[in-house]
Homo-oligomer: A and B are copies of this chain.
Amino acid sequence: MKLTSKGRYAVMALVDLARFNSINPVSLRDISLRQGISLDYLEQIFFKLRKKEIVQSVRGNQGGYVLNKKAKEIKLTNIFDAVDEKVKTVQCKKDSKKGCNGKSTKCLTHNLWDELENHINDFFEKKSLEDLVKENTERRI
């Protein structure tokens, strides 16, 4: 059960972006250098973030990205959703009537994993980008 780099990087990059919450857009090159994330990979990630309207792009020289909403309104859930970092605990198709291995009923542990999934999602639901930035206010990179 592990978090993938895509999700981790997405959050890292957005926290970085939110800290430089100025009028000027932040370029991926800067984020790449500061956070040590491959530029090409960041581009993939921001492509998705833009499609979900979490960030806005500013093209051209001196361009970059800015947040499209207030940091307070961006929850971890939104970020993870945007980059397809899903929490998946069950094996069966969640909404189908069928169980794990194509069985006709749900398996013995289905409810448990469902609970777990909710438990994890609660965490993501509660944390906003603003919270994360605040927690890092005193620290320097």
**Chain A residues packing against B (C-beta within 8 Å):** 1-5, 7-8, 11-12, 15-16, 35-37, 85-89, 91, 100-101, 103, 105, 107-109, 111-113, 115-116, 119-120, 123, 127, 132, 135-136, 139, 141
Contacts and interface: CB of A to CB of B under 8 A. Distances in A.
28 contacts: A1-B2, A1-B3, A1-B87, A1-B120, A2-B86, A2-B87, A2-B88, A3-B89, A8-B89, A8-B91, A8-B109, A11-B109, A12-B107, A15-B108, A16-B108, A36-B100, A36-B101, A36-B103, A108-B139, A109-B132, A111-B135, A112-B135, A116-B120, A116-B123, A119-B119, A119-B120, A119-B123, A120-B120
Contacts of A113: 3, 8
B141 A108 contact: yes
Contacts of A2: 1, 86-89
- Copies per assembly: 2
Nearest to A36: B101
